[in-house]
Amino acid sequence: MTVEVGSIAPDFTLPDSNRAPVSLSSFRGQKAVLVVFYPFAFSGVCTAELCAVRDDLASFQNEQVQVLAVSTDPAPALKAWAQAQGYTFPLLSDFWPHGAVAKEYGVFHEQGGMALRGTFLVGLDGVVTFAEVNEPGVARDQSSWKRAVAALPVS
């Protein structure tokens, strides 16, 4: 079951591309969080999506919102991809236990062993204010993310 708008976002702590732990709950009361699940580093659609975030980062990440991108790739692969693409937002590894966080959010694709394209905007209070899930190979329309971020109350 996919996490729905109005529900409390499941908390998680995952290693970033440098293996430093990042917890969703560490942002509570300070910043909203745009959690972007994607299938695989270095894949065409995922690269295009995250490059679009990189190229228009101010629309997604600012003093009120933090982007956290999550895949089931291991941290070293995420580090190489972040360096190759110039990503400055955290890429988090849901590698082990494999896909555990993606499963909690209802976006784990069992047959593929990967996350689906799930996007969740978590408010300051930990409540999901936006949720979207796309199947593998189907790119997301990020204009809905921009609208959701722009609609957040100014703190």
The ranges assigned to domains in the chain are: 13-150
pLDDT digits (tens, 9 = 90+) for 58-100: 999 999 999 999 999 999 999 999 999 999 999 999 999 999 9
DSSP state of 126: S
| Helix/strand/coil percent split, the chain, to 5 | 30, 25, 45
At 13 the pLDDT is 98
Instruction: Judge whether residue 121 has pLDDT over 90.
Output: yes
Closest CA to 73 of 82, 86, 85: 82
Q: Which one is predicted more confidently, 123 or 154?
A: 123
Confidence (pTM): 0.96
> Sign of the C-alpha dihedral, residues 140, 141, 142, 146?
negative
Q: What is the pLDDT of residue 138?
A: 86
pLDDT of amino acid 155? 64
CATH superfamily for 13-150 is: Glutaredoxin (3.40.30.10)
Strand blocks (E) in 79-127: 91-93, 108-109, 114-115, 117-122
Return the active site residues.
46
Mean pLDDT of 129-134: 95
Reported as a single tens digit per residue, the pLDDT across 6-51 is 999 999 999 999 999 999 999 999 999 999 999 999 999 999 999 9
* Separation of alpha carbons 115 and 100, rounded Å: 10
- What is d(CA 114, CA 101) in angstroms, rounded to the nearest whole number? 11
